[in-house]
């Protein structure tokens, strides 16, 4: 059992190390800055290129935390009061995608237009 | 109030399901309730700490600390679930024999309860920090509506507890001889689901960049944010737009657990050993 456990752990480590070797430099990705203040995203719409990964930098100008979320774009991340967060977004097919503050999902929304 | 209730309920839903499954899986194990309660309490305490240091965690790893933290705790939970299932594969037959002989509970420590306590703790921690931040925001915002928002949040928590209770009560209706197979199956799927979420967080952190393309999009069929979507997300790891890496990790975890369980199961040993007990 112990031997087998060790083998499993070794295999997992090998996979993890192998995968990290592929880590690309994310600095080349285009970053779009959005500010959230008083339940409003500014800008509340950004346009990005289809098929290219990108980043969103959210500046939270409120004292309250917000949670930037979009299930279709695949992110869900909390920004504490008066702080910034970054999210990586995978390459997307053309279309319009909604993102929102999960703490005010109806009021605080924005869109990513992929074309 | 309803808004706050829904937000909090959606967050506790997943943890509620996990707790219900673990409670049912360990129903006959003496002392299991204490371990699970300990896991929940540790998860709540961890959530409060994590919420307090959210900004610090965020700043780790060039701004991707949250993702790496989530990936890390999920990996730990997967390890614990795998350990639990393999342990059960080795000892399950003896336990079943004892169950039939004694007609009821087996003694304490006959199961890696600590492993399941960690899994429960992780499930609570993952969603708990968000709830803590949400409620902190309500208090901070103040105003007239804060008491109704707070009430909604508390009701959301209560409803989450009801999900645990319903899951547990539903599962324990299953006859004991099948319950073991059902909960082992659920725990295997839970492990695959958590492993795939771990992969998703690694990709989101940008530190891992393999197979990052979207494998398929089933958002038209089941919205991940809806209650059926969340249910499937927790139980079988449903993701509406999974990356290829998520799909691969999910399948590998599933196959690995099933294969290891088969290999370790005393089924292959002479049956006399089991029958002789």
Residue of A4, A80, A86 lying closest to B63 (CB–CB):
A86
Q: Tokens 């965690």 sit at which residue? A: B57
Q: How far, in Å, CA of B128 to CA of B45, rounded?
A: 9
Q: Can you give the residue ranges of every domain in chain A?
A: 26-114
Q: Which of A98-102, B99-103, B127-131 holds the top average pLDDT?
A: A98-102
Q: Which of the residues B65, B83, B130 would you substitute to probe the A interface, choosing the one with the greatest number of A C-beta atoms within 10 Å? A: B130
Which residue in chain A is spatially nearest to B249 when comparing CA positions?
A15
**Does residue A20 register a pLDDT over 50?**
no
Q: What percent of chain B has pLDDT over 70?
A: 88
Residue B208, CA distances (Å) to B61, B63, B199, B240 in order: 13, 15, 9, 21
Mean pLDDT score, B164-173: 93
- Distance (Å, whole) CA A34 – CA B181: 49
Give the per-residue pLDDT at B27: 84
- Tell me the CATH architecture of domain B2-275: Up-down Bundle (1.20)
State the average pLDDT over residues B239-243: 91
The answer to whether residues B212 and B244 touch, using CB atoms and an 8 Å cutoff, is yes
Strand partners of residue A57: A33, A86
CB contact under 8 Å between B140 and A106, yes or no, is no
* C-alpha span between B54 and B136 (Å, rounded): 12
User: With the C-alpha atoms ordered B228, B229, B235, B238, is the resulting torsion angle positive or negative?
Assistant: positive
In tens, the pLDDT along B35-79 reads 999 999 999 999 999 988 888 888 888 889 999 999 999 999 999
Q: Residue A2 pLDDT > 80, yes or no?
A: no
Average pLDDT, chain B: 85
Most A CBs within 10 A among B54, B196, B265, hence the mutation to make, goes to: B54
Nearest CA in chain A to B153: A103
ipTM over 0.85: no
Q: Looking at the domain A26-114, which fold is it?
A: Immunoglobulin-like (2.60.40)
Q: Is the confidence at residue A19, as pLDDT, over 90?
A: no
Asked if A103's CB is within 8 angstroms of B134's CB, the reply is yes
User: Cβ contact (<8 Å) for B58 and A85?
Assistant: yes
Q: What is the DSSP letter of B243?
A: B
- Write down the pLDDT at residue B109: 46
Q: Do A23 and B204 touch (CB under 8 A)?
A: no
Q: Average pLDDT of A66-87?
A: 90
Contact between chains at A67 and B134 (C-beta distance less than 8 A)? yes
Best mutation target, B1, B128, B209, to test chain A (most A CBs within 10 A): B209
Residue A113, H or E segment? strand A109-114
pLDDT confidence of residue A6: 60
Tokens 């080795």 -> residue: B90
Residues 18-57 of A with CB under 8 A from B: 19-20, 22-24, 26, 53
pLDDT tens track for B194-232: 999 999 999 999 888 889 888 988 988 998 888 899 899
Name the token pair of B272.
């006399």
Over residues B79-101, mean pLDDT: 76
Cα nearest neighbour of B238 on chain A: A71
Find out whether B241 and A74 touch, Cβ atoms under 8 Å.
Answer: yes
| A31 alpha carbon, distance to own chain's centre | 11
Residue B216, classified by CB atoms within 10 Å of its CB into exposed (0-12), middle (13-18) or buried (19+), is exposed
A23 pLDDT band (50/70/90 cuts)? Answer: very low
Q: Please name the helix (run of DSSP H) or strand (run of DSSP E) that holds residue B227, with its range, or none.
A: helix B227-236
Q: How far is CA B51 from CA A42, A98, B84, B267, in A?
A: 26, 26, 30, 47
Q: What does the radius of gyration of chain B's CA atoms come to, in whole angstroms? A: 20
CA distance A84 to chain B (A): 9
Model confidence at A48, pLDDT cuts 50, 70, 90, reads: very high
Q: Once rounded to an integer, what is the mean pLDDT over residues B249-266?
A: 90
Instruction: Between A24 and A29, name the one with better pLDDT.
Output: A29
pLDDT of residue B270: 45
3-state secondary structure of A90: coil
CA–CA gap between residue B136 and residue B116 (Å, rounded) = 29
Say whether pLDDT at B101 is over 70.
no
Per domain, the residue ranges of chain B are: 2-275
Q: What torsion do the CA atoms of B274, B22, B248, A67 make, to the nearest 10 degrees?
A: -170
Strand partners, A68: A77, A101
Q: Among all residues of chain B, which has the CA nearest to that of A39?
A: B141
A4 touches chain B (CB under 8 A): yes
Chain B positions touching A23 (Cβ under 8 A) are 206-209
């Amino acid at each position: 059992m112990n031997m087998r456990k060790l083998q499993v752990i070794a295999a997992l480590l090998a996979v993890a190390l192998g995968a990290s070797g592929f880590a690309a430099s994310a600095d080349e990705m285009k970053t779009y800055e959005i500010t959230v203040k008083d339940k409003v995203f500014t800008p509340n719409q950004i346009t990005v290129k289809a098929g290219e990964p990108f980043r969103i930098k959210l500046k939270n100008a409120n004292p309250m935390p917000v949670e930037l979320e979009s299930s279709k774009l695949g992110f869900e991340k909390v920004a504490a009061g008066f702080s910034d967060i970054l999210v990586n977004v995978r390459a997307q097919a053309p279309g319009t995608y909604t993102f929102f503050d999960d703490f005010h999902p109806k009021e605080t929304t924005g869109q990513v237009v992929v074309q | 109030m309803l808004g706050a209730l829904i937000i909090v309920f959606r967050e506790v839903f997943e943890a509620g399901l996990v707790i219900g499954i673990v409670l049912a899986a360990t129903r006959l194990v003496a002392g299991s309730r204490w371990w699970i309660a300990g896991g929940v309490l540790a998860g709540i305490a961890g959530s409060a700490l994590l919420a307090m240091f959210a900004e610090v965690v965020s700043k780790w790893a060039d701004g991707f600390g949250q993702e790496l933290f989530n990936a890390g705790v999920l990996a730990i939970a997967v390890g614990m679930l795998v350990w639990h299932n393999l342990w059960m594969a080795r000892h399950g037959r003896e336990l079943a024999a004892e169950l039939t002989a004694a007609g009821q509970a087996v003694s304490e420590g006959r199961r890696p309860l600590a492993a399941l306590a960690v899994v429960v703790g992780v499930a609570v921690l993952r969603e708990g920090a968000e709830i803590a931040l949400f409620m902190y925001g309500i208090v901070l915002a103040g105003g007239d509506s804060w008491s109704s928002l707070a009430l909604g949040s508390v009701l959301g928590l209560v409803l989450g507890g009801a999900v645990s209770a319903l899951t547990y009560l539903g599962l324990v209706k299953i006859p004991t001889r099948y319950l073991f197979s059902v909960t082992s199956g659920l725990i295997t799927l839970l492990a695959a689901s958590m492993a795939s979420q771990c992969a998703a967080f690694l990709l989101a952190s940008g530190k891992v960049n393999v197979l990052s393309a979207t494998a398929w999009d089933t958002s038209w069929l089941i919205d991940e944010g809806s209650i059926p979507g969340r249910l499937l997300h927790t139980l079988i790891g449903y993701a509406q737009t999974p990356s290829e890496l998520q799909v691969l990790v999910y399948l590998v975890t599933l196959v690995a657990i099933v294969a290891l369980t088969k290999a370790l199961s005393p089924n292959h040993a002479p049956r006399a050993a089991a029958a002789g007990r």
